[in-house]
């Protein structure tokens, strides 16, 4: 070996030793960590996907663009909220692009397929919205986390809220996992508070033909109604509800019904009460800073979907920091994520044994463009997840 070559080899090993001593692997230094964002950028949930993606990227930017010492590369797929394309889309990111982390999605049916793919390939998955119960229930898995809610949680909190004033209710929901589970949660909360759900009305996702259901609702004359429709469709729903003259005669409850859409819903939504794990006017230092930096970065106020995306990134960072960017140390990453206590804009956030958020639920009332927090309806709500054996 020439003198120059041996000097070079020596210098390289010294550098590797120095990095190892600093606890940073050579891999961590050289290659970006790949994050697959599988979210809708078209269809009724497009704005929700945007909120999640913005929130996630905001957190990463606040860390100087690095997690666990590694730069971040994003690979994005529009999942179109279409369950029939979910397997192919998730496999594109996992098998073709070889992402280190899969993040997605909004729609429960699509997210359940993502969870299956994540489980089969042992890919780390963080679900930043979709509430399908099975993801942190019967299908729960060490490598799957959620930074949002199970559909049962906001439904249950809304049921408790409605039961404070009413004895009978009718539900209206999209007929798919999120609608069914949200209504189940509402029923449980409402009955716990002494109420009775007298009828469940449904329509197919992502339908917006609400009129026949509103006519039936009016004929049943319950004291209250609970609805699960979301995204762009909730604007039409709340407007149709008011136009049908039901706003004052049958008070309408919902968890997401006014989230991020008050400007478009206008007077039709004013005064509506909702229960959710985020609210306008929530006072904590993290939320103040989050609102300021989100507004500066994107020129719009954040909503719950942005918070869930931000916290998905915070949760991943807890794992990345623990292993100093060495994603091969998956068991160590998972342990750190399980034990994470996040300072979330929504308030303190920890995770249940099944990897689902444990969080407070707030009462909000729609005033102008704000879902103003007026109370806490449940503190530290845990999804029971009896079928999860972790
Ligand atoms: C879901 O499909 O799980 C969902 C979609 C939009 C808002 C909330 C839940």
Question: Domains plus CATH for the chain?
Answer: 31-149+281-355 (3.40.50.2300), 152-276 (3.40.50.2300)
Q: Whose structure tokens read 């409402």?
A: 190
Rounded-to-5 percentages of helix, strand, coil across the chain: 45, 20, 35
Task: Give pLDDT, residue 25.
Answer: 55
Encoded tokens for 161: 């809220």
Q: Whose structure tokens read 């206590």?
A: 341
233 lines ligand 1 (CB under 6 A): no
Ligand 1, atom 3: closest residue by C-alpha: 130
Encoded tokens for 147: 């930074």
230 lines ligand 1 (CB under 6 A): yes
Ligand 1, atom 8: closest residue by C-alpha: 130
Please name the residues in contact with 29: beta carbons below 8 A apart, sequence gap of 6 or more.
Answer: 19, 69, 70
Encoded tokens for 181: 């589970």
DSSP 3-state of 31: coil
Task: Give pLDDT, residue 6.
Answer: 42
CA distance 92 to 81: 16
CA distance 112 to 177: 10
Task: Give pLDDT, residue 67.
Answer: 98
Q: Is 39 within 8 Å of 52 (Cβ atoms)?
A: yes
Of 81, 73, 12, which is closest to residue 43 (Cα–Cα)?
81
CA distance 357 to 138: 16
Torsion angle of the four alpha carbons 252, 257, 262, 264, in this order, in degrees rounded to the nearest 10: -100
Encoded tokens for 70: 């590694």
CB neighbours of residue 7 within 10 Å: 11
Of 62, 54, 56, 27, which is closest to residue 126 (Cα–Cα)?
56
Q: Over its length of 390 residues, how does the chain's per-residue pLDDT go in tens digits?
A: 444 434 443 444 444 444 444 455 555 557 999 999 999 999 999 999 999 999 999 999 999 999 999 999 999 999 999 999 999 999 999 999 999 999 999 999 999 999 999 999 999 999 999 999 999 999 999 999 999 999 999 999 999 999 999 999 999 999 999 999 999 999 999 999 999 999 999 999 999 999 999 999 999 999 999 999 999 999 999 999 999 999 999 999 999 999 999 999 999 999 999 999 999 999 999 999 999 999 999 999 999 999 999 999 999 999 999 999 999 999 999 999 999 999 999 999 999 999 999 999 999 999 999 999 999 999 999 999 999 998
Residue to probe by mutation, ligand 1, list 131, 256, 303, most atoms within 8 Å of CB: 131
146 lines ligand 1 (CB under 6 A): no
Whole-model pTM: value is: 0.93
**C-alpha 12 to ligand 1 mean position (Å):** 51
Residue to probe by mutation, ligand 1, list 51, 107, 177, 303, most atoms within 8 Å of CB: 107
110 lines ligand 1 (CB under 6 A): no
């Amino acid at each position: 070996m020439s003198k120059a070559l041996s000097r070079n080899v020596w210098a390289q090993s010294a550098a590797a030793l120095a990095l190892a001593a600093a606890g940073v692997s050579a891999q961590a230094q050289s290659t970006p960590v790949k994050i697959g964002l599988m979210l809708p950028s078209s269809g009724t949930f497009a704005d929700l996907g945007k909120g999640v993606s913005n929130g996630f990227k905001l957190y990463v930017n606040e860390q100087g663009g690095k997690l666990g010492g590694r730069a971040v590369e994003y690979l994005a797929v529009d999942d179109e909220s279409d369950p029939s394309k979910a397997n192919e889309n998730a496999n594109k990111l996992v098998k073709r692009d070889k992402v280190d982390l899969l993040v997605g999605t909004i729609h429960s049916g699509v997210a359940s397929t993502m969870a299956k793919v994540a489980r089969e390939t042992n890919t780390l998955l963080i679900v930043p919205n979709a509430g399908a119960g099975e993801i942190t229930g019967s299908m729960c898995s060490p490598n799957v986390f959620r930074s949002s809610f199970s559909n049962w949680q906001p439904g249950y909190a809304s049921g408790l809220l409605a039961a404070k004033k009413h004895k009978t209710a009718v539900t209206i929901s999209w007929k798919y996992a999120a609608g069914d589970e949200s209504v189940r949660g509402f029923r449980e909360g409402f009955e716990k508070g002494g109420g009775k759900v007298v009828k469940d009305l449904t329509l197919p996702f992502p339908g917006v033909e609400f009129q026949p259901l509103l006519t039936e609702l009016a004929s049943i004359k319950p004291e209250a109604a609970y609805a699960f429709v979301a995204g762009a469709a909730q604007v039409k729903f709340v407007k149709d509800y008011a136009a049908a003259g039901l706003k004052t005669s049958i008070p309408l409850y919902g968890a997401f019904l006014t989230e991020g859409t008050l400007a478009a819903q206008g007077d039709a939504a004013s005064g509506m009460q909702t229960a959710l794990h985020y609210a306008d006017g929530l006072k904590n230092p993290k939320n103040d800073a989050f609102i300021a930096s989100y507004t500066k970065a994107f020129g719009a106020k954040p909503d719950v979907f942005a918070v869930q995306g931000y916290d998905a990134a915070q949760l991943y960072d807890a794992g990345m920091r623990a292993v100093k960017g060495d994603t091969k140390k998956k068991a160590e990453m998972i342990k750190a994520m399980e034990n994470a206590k996040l300072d979330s804009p929504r308030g303190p956030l920890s995770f249940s044994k099944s990897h689902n958020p444990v969080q407070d639920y707030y009462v909000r009332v729609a005033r102008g463009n704000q879902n103003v927090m007026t109370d806490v309806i449940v503190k530290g709500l845990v999804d029971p997840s009896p079928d999860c054996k972790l």
